[in-house]
């Protein structure tokens, strides 16, 4: 191969990787988790609070994110950092440990998305992994599809099936991030590495992800519709500015991730992104406090709901169902 031909091949290789990273990169997020401790987010560490970090990819502009189940397993706080630096609390809509996939939701719209592709892969095909290895934001590595339909034990009774094997460098923190083709389409979700093995990384195929997304979304819709308020929520620590401006005596609230159309909350004109502060005279600083308040107020109606929207305290009257 002549020098010119060699350089052209390298340029084509570089362009393929650059194109893939530029197309999928804006939809790749960092996922931080907190386990144990009291209220607060992973970036605000408390005693006895374990922390974890992984990656994820936005697949729907209304805030749905795909990641690994093991990234969020046991977490009571999940924080997503977007490529533009925004940090958003996320709720876990559902997870399937047997497939090592989970779906998260943030209360934000018009987000950049990556295309999920179930196009059959070929051994030797160029692929690119994007994620946050060791917490290092937005890292790109490249390699090839080494093998298809691999199996990998995850414990004494379970194993992951139909995995993509790749020599693309994958490290702790990459988990849950996308494996993409040269068009920037997501072909897999990185899931595991073999300790002390070089060139052995694995990803859950996008075809498996489609099935998991379908099951989790269907279950979530049913649960959302059955709830007395028709909402999906997560704990949220309030910022100091909102506390001062609204003269609040509480440090936390409950963020509405999703509001079911036709449900009690929707009929009261509540919407995703609102932060619940109280039901009647009962402060709701956590999801657990909200559940207890709902139980205590059963049989009474309507309820006065106090909440924050756009940084301002508001209140509405709500007629619960069930």
Q: 3-state class of 109 per DSSP?
A: coil
**C-alpha atoms less than 13 angstroms from C-alpha of 241 in its C-beta half-sphere:** 3
162 tagged catalytic: no
Q: 3-state class of 55 per DSSP?
A: strand
70 tagged catalytic: yes
Alpha helices in the chain (DSSP H): 3-24, 69-72, 206-226, 240-245, 264-267, 287-297
> Per residue in 211-244, is it b (16+ CB within 10 Å) or e — as a string?
ebbeebeeebeeebeebbbbbbbbbbbbeeebee
Distance from C-alpha of 125 to C-alpha of 123, rounded to nearest angstrom? 6
Q: Read out DSSP for 234-263?
A: EEEEPPHHHHHHTT-S-SEEEEEEEE-TTS
Which position among 55, 70, 146, 235 bears the catalytic label? 70
175 tagged catalytic: yes
192, 144 Cβ separation under 8 angstroms: no
Distance from C-alpha of 142 to C-alpha of 128, rounded to nearest angstrom? 4
Which position among 64, 100, 181, 293 bears the catalytic label? 100
Which position among 55, 175, 232, 293 bears the catalytic label? 175
**Enzyme catalytic residues:** 70, 100, 175
């Amino acid at each position: 191969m002549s020098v010119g031909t060699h350089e052209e091949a390298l340029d084509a290789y570089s362009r393929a990787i650059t194109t893939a990273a530029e197309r999928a990169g804006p939809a790749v997020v960092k996922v931080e988790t907190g386990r144990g401790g009291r209220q607060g987010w992973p970036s605000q560490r408390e005693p006895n609070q374990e922390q974890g970090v992984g990656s994820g990819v936005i697949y729907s502009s209304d805030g749905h994110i795909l990641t690994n189940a093991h990234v969020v397993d046991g977490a009571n706080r999940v924080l997503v950092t977007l490529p533009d630096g925004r940090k958003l609390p996320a709720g876990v809509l559902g997870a399937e440990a047997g497939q090592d996939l989970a779906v998260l939701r943030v209360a934000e719209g018009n987000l950049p998305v990556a295309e999920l592709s179930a196009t059959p892969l070929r051994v030797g095909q160029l692929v690119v992994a994007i994620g946050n290895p060791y917490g290092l934001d937005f890292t790109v590595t490249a390699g090839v599809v080494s093998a298809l339909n691999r199996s990998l034990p995850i414990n004494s009774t379970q194993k992951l099936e139909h995995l993509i094997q790749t020599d693309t460098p994958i490290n702790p923190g990459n988990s849950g991030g996308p494996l993409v083709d040269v068009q920037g389409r997501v072909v897999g979700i990185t899931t595991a590495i073999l300790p002390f093995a070089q060139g052995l990384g694995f990803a859950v195929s996008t075809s498996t992800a489609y099935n998991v997304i379908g099951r989790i979304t269907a279950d979530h819709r049913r649960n959302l519709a059955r709830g007395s308020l028709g909402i999906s929520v997560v704990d949220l620590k309030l910022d100091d500015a909102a506390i001062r401006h609204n003269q609040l005596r509480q440090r936390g609230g409950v963020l509405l991730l999703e509001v079911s159309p036709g449900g009690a909350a929707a009929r009261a004109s509540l919407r995703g992104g609102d932060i619940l502060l109280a039901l009647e005279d009962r402060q709701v600083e956590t999801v657990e406090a909200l559940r207890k308040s709902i139980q205590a107020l059963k049989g009474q109606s309507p309820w006065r709901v106090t909440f924050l929207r756009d940084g301002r305290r508001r209140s509405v009257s709500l007629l619960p169902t069930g």
